[in-house]
Structure 1
Amino acid sequence: EPESKQEGTYRCDVQDITFRRVKRIYWGIRVLPEGVMNLDYDSTLAQWELTESQQNLDQFHLDTESILLYSAVFGLILSAIWIGLLGLYRKTRET
């Protein structure tokens, strides 16, 4: 069990064969209280998949709504064009 006294900044020096320092890396370590993070892979994976499937379902609903909206607008535009052409046709037949 890690304890809070083990928290802190740790340093790692990487050296070559002649003991010259090639790289120095620092890590900040913090001990989290129990229950903050779930390390059970299977249950965490199930939660991720559930969240992902809900997001996909929400995206499907948004896509369906936008398709219906565009279809309605396109239908109205076509109707307006058809009515305009029909009016022009009648006007030219009368003269």
Structure 2
Amino acid sequence: EKLSVLDFVDRPDSAVQPVKPLPIEVTPFKLVEDLKGLKQLAIKLRNVDEFAVDLEHNQYRSFQGLTCLMQISTRTEDFIIDTLRLRVQIGHISE
């Protein structure tokens, strides 16, 4: 159901050239801890062709686990999202 709203880029793999990331010293970083920052991040992500996501979770005393931290990187910026603080809002940000 949720995947039906996604538009995937249709391009051959041979056309994609690997791009080295910027050095960490010059890559802007933002900690996202509130709804305003989360909305700003959503706008930025809608305007890029690609981004990387990494999730950190804790499954101690839980079968499903709990996502504690989300890391997102674009070609030019890095973001850390406090998913514990934003747990109620984070699922509705695409609306």
**TM-score, normalization: structure 2?**
0.20
Task: Give the structure with higher Rg (CA).
Answer: 1
Normalising by structure 1, report the TM-score.
0.20
Relative to its length, the structure with more helix (as a share) is 1
Ranked by relative contact order (alpha carbons within 8 Å, sequence separation 6 or more), the top structure is 2
